[in-house]
A and B are shown apart, each in its own frame.
Chain A
């Protein structure tokens, strides 16, 4: 059945709520408003205000409450409207959720799922367009997911809820309307990266909102005679290094595409991983396509210029083959 990424997420939430009385949701405008990105639309009517719990504007407060509820035996799913506002909750996520298990000598676990909309591309300017997946992926104690396909949107939540530790799930705002075939029930893991397009001459490694752009670039490269493989990282912490390295060793060239700013980006981590482990398998230095190091501007032409785009990916790829491309 064809469905949207948004519907797939909603289906996953509905199944989780129906299947486990410990599961409930908290967040700003998830109920009466219908969800900022309409993901939770209809769930209030179906499950009631106790379990689809609208919160005041208190990111620090309700994320903290989610941690407490998780410690107290519930399976909360907390929605932080966007990653931009997650900064107000960062203290609770970093200093409490991520550390509790360790600090308590393994006595306490925090089975909390945090869903966060992320990313740019909607002309909503600098304060509303951040990508901080790399910040979260830096922190031991949490798992970080980036569903980039309708199938993962449907399947990842259940795996996240089954995990005993805090899981942060990033949903790129440009993906909500993405449509694809997807069965009613999906089982996926939250440990592996996946090959989304097999290829033999170049590894394009990406995640989240950059996956569709990377697939477009791969098709364009095919017309230029370059057979690119596209790897979707899916899980940003812990990284599935073997899948990345296997692809790079096979293709011998790699471009990493990441909407975070280049300095200290997740792409930097991937490149380090490649250089540390597959240096002698490379025919060219790895390249990165990231966002330009400037706050995300409002004007469309500027925003487009700042973000990774298929053309930039193609150019970066061609540069690895020298001129002209084979």
Chain B
């Protein structure tokens, strides 16, 4: 449902308020460039853009701590970047260069980084959910306070993996934050054409999982709701499911002719765009000037250009190393 654009004051201090803006802008500009480079043939394979959904990753990541685990999907450039992966590493990975986070083995859909506890980049719909449950179980068994945040699209809710994962998490009261990015379409299949019961929170609740819902186009709401979810998770010791209601502005992937939705629908959602509505709110409060916005944008532009140059000058993995990552090298070798 399309409601009024997010509005009102931003109840955060300047560091957080501006940080969120910078986060969204970095993801947006990175992906706009990626789309351009796809057109130029520099990036190949599947490329799933997050454009329109940036508020979700931005608001949610800033609620998590650096120690927490993150599991993501193939639409994860934003999650990786905002989790702390260098833009250079992401771009190099998309170019297929050895300097990429996954040595060019993974590409756009498989961004992994152990140092920031980012467990991928999973391109099997629903595939990350059981994995997140297992991570949370391991943390629980090791008395660690870590939370495991698992991002997935609403399409995954039709998969058995979702239901099995929710049940286990609810049954064992595991510290999983289920972050459902409901952008209304799974490729070309609208939620209402996929689910008899479209109230996603109701489904999650049936597994004994606590639920919350947020306007995913509103970075303020996303951040506040995610913080509340984490508090609940820590205080009550139950998994929490958050539905972020959002929208994808671009095609599903670069192969999608978008036959399944009206341009007018996309345009209507764009009027609720996470970036321009948020910067307008900061401006209305006198906390951001146009000049400051432009300065930030040009700084981000420089970061993107630097990432592209880095990826361009990167190297191709040598064929001699081809078999290297098939098995873990034994310490003796």
Most chain A CB neighbours (cut-off 10 Å) among B45, B104, B122, B190: B45
B258 and chain A: residue at smallest CB distance:
A33
CB distance from B33 to the nearest CB of A (A): 18
Q: Which residues of B contact A297 (CB under 8 A)?
A: 96, 104-105, 317, 322
Contact A34 B259 (CB under 8 A): yes
Contact B110 A127 (CB under 8 A): yes
CB distance from B220 to the nearest CB of A (A): 31
Query: In whole angstroms, how far apart are the Cα atoms of A295 and B325 in the complex?
Result: 9
Given contacts A32-B260, A33-B187, A298-B110, contact A56 B96 (CB under 8 A): no
Query: In whole angstroms, how far apart are the Cα atoms of A293 and B105 in the complex?
Result: 14
Contact B323 A292 (CB under 8 A): yes
Q: Counting CB contacts under 8 A, is A18 at the interface? A: no
Given contacts A56-B195, A292-B322, A299-B316, contact A124 B259 (CB under 8 A): no
Contact B322 A305 (CB under 8 A): yes
Q: Which residues of A contact B189 (CB under 8 A)?
A: 28-29, 32-33, 54, 56-57
Q: Counting CB contacts under 8 A, is B160 at the interface? A: yes
Query: Assuming A57-B156, A123-B96, A128-B109, what are 11 further A-B pairs, CB within 8 angstroms?
Result: A28-B189, A32-B188, A54-B189, A56-B195, A85-B125, A126-B105, A292-B322, A297-B322, A298-B105, A305-B319, A306-B322
- Residue in contact with B259 in the complex, picked from A33, A84, A293, CB distance below 8 Å: A33
Contact A32 B105 (CB under 8 A): no
B159 and chain A: residue at smallest CB distance:
A57
Q: Counting CB contacts under 8 A, is A88 at the interface? A: yes
A15-55 with Cβ < 8 A to chain B: 28-29, 32-34, 36, 54
Contact A295 B125 (CB under 8 A): no
Contact B123 A34 (CB under 8 A): no
A60 and chain B: residue at smallest CB distance:
B160
- Prevailing SS type, chain B contact patch: loop
Query: In whole angstroms, how far apart are the Cα atoms of A295 and B323 in the complex?
Result: 9
Q: Which residues of B contact A85 (CB under 8 A)?
A: 124-125
Given contacts A32-B189, A32-B259, A125-B123, contact A298 B106 (CB under 8 A): yes
Q: Which residues of B contact A60 (CB under 8 A)?
A: 160
- Residue in contact with A124 in the complex, picked from B46, B97, B195, CB distance below 8 Å: B46
| 10 residue pairs, one from A and one from B, having the closest CB atoms | A33-B188, A299-B96, A56-B158, A298-B107, A123-B45, A299-B104, A56-B194, A123-B44, A57-B158, A127-B123
Q: Counting CB contacts under 8 A, is B257 at the interface? A: yes
Q: Counting CB contacts under 8 A, is A73 at the interface? A: no
Question: How many residues of A are in contact with the other chain, CB < 8 A?
Answer: 35
Query: In whole angstroms, how far apart are the Cα atoms of A297 and B124 in the complex?
Result: 16
Q: Which residues of B contact A57 (CB under 8 A)?
A: 125-126, 155-156, 158-159, 186, 189, 194
Beta-carbon contacts of A286-309 to B below 8 Å, as 1s and 0s? 000000111101111110011000
Q: Counting CB contacts under 8 A, is A58 at the interface? A: yes
Beta-carbon contacts of A60-100 to B below 8 Å, as 1s and 0s? 11000000000000000000000011001000000000000
Q: Counting CB contacts under 8 A, is B141 at the interface? A: no
Q: Which residues of A contact B316 (CB under 8 A)?
A: 299, 301-302
Q: Counting CB contacts under 8 A, is A122 at the interface? A: yes
Q: Which residues of B contact A295 (CB under 8 A)?
A: 105, 325-326
Beta-carbon contacts of B172-192 to A below 8 Å, as 1s and 0s? 000000000000001111100
Q: Which residues of B contact A300 (CB under 8 A)?
A: 44, 96
Query: In whole angstroms, how far apart are the Cα atoms of A298 and B187 in the complex?
Result: 22
Q: Which residues of B contact A126 (CB under 8 A)?
A: 105-106, 110
Q: Counting CB contacts under 8 A, is B115 at the interface? A: no
Q: Number of residue pairs across A and B with beta carbons under 8 Å? A: 127
CB distance from B44 to the nearest CB of A (A): 4
CB distance from B125 to the nearest CB of A (A): 5
Query: In whole angstroms, how far apart are the Cα atoms of A32 and B194 in the complex?
Result: 12
B181-228 with Cβ < 8 A to chain A: 186-190, 193-195
B117-146 with Cβ < 8 A to chain A: 122-126
Query: In whole angstroms, how far apart are the Cα atoms of A61 and B126 in the complex?
Result: 14
Contact B104 A58 (CB under 8 A): no
Query: In whole angstroms, how far apart are the Cα atoms of A297 and B260 in the complex?
Result: 32
Contact B159 A294 (CB under 8 A): no
CB distance from B8 to the nearest CB of A (A): 36
Q: Which residues of B contact A88 (CB under 8 A)?
A: 124, 159-161
CB distance from B182 to the nearest CB of A (A): 14
Most chain A CB neighbours (cut-off 10 Å) among B96, B110, B256: B96
Given contacts A292-B322, A299-B97, A300-B96, contact A32 B193 (CB under 8 A): yes
Beta-carbon contacts of B303-333 to A below 8 Å, as 1s and 0s? 0000000000000110100110110000000
Query: In whole angstroms, how far apart are the Cα atoms of A60 and B104 in the complex?
Result: 32
Q: Which residues of A contact B110 (CB under 8 A)?
A: 125-127, 298
Contact A127 B109 (CB under 8 A): yes
19 CB-based A-B contacts, threshold 8 Å: A32-B259, A33-B188, A34-B188, A34-B259, A57-B194, A58-B160, A59-B159, A60-B160, A61-B160, A85-B124, A123-B96, A124-B109, A125-B105, A127-B122, A293-B323, A295-B325, A298-B45, A299-B104, A299-B316
CB distance from B270 to the nearest CB of A (A): 22
Q: Which residues of B contact A61 (CB under 8 A)?
A: 158, 160
Query: In whole angstroms, how far apart are the Cα atoms of A60 and B109 in the complex?
Result: 23
CB distance from B116 to the nearest CB of A (A): 21
Contact A84 B124 (CB under 8 A): yes
A62 and chain B: residue at smallest CB distance:
B158
Query: In whole angstroms, how far apart are the Cα atoms of A124 and B43 in the complex?
Result: 11
Q: Which residues of B contact A127 (CB under 8 A)?
A: 109-110, 122-124
Contact A302 B158 (CB under 8 A): no
Contact B96 A298 (CB under 8 A): yes
Q: Which residues of A contact B190 (CB under 8 A)?
A: 32
Query: In whole angstroms, how far apart are the Cα atoms of A120 and B215 in the complex?
Result: 39
A85 and chain B: residue at smallest CB distance:
B124
CB distance from A315 to the nearest CB of B (A): 15
Contact A298 B257 (CB under 8 A): no
B241-271 with Cβ < 8 A to chain A: 255-257, 259-260
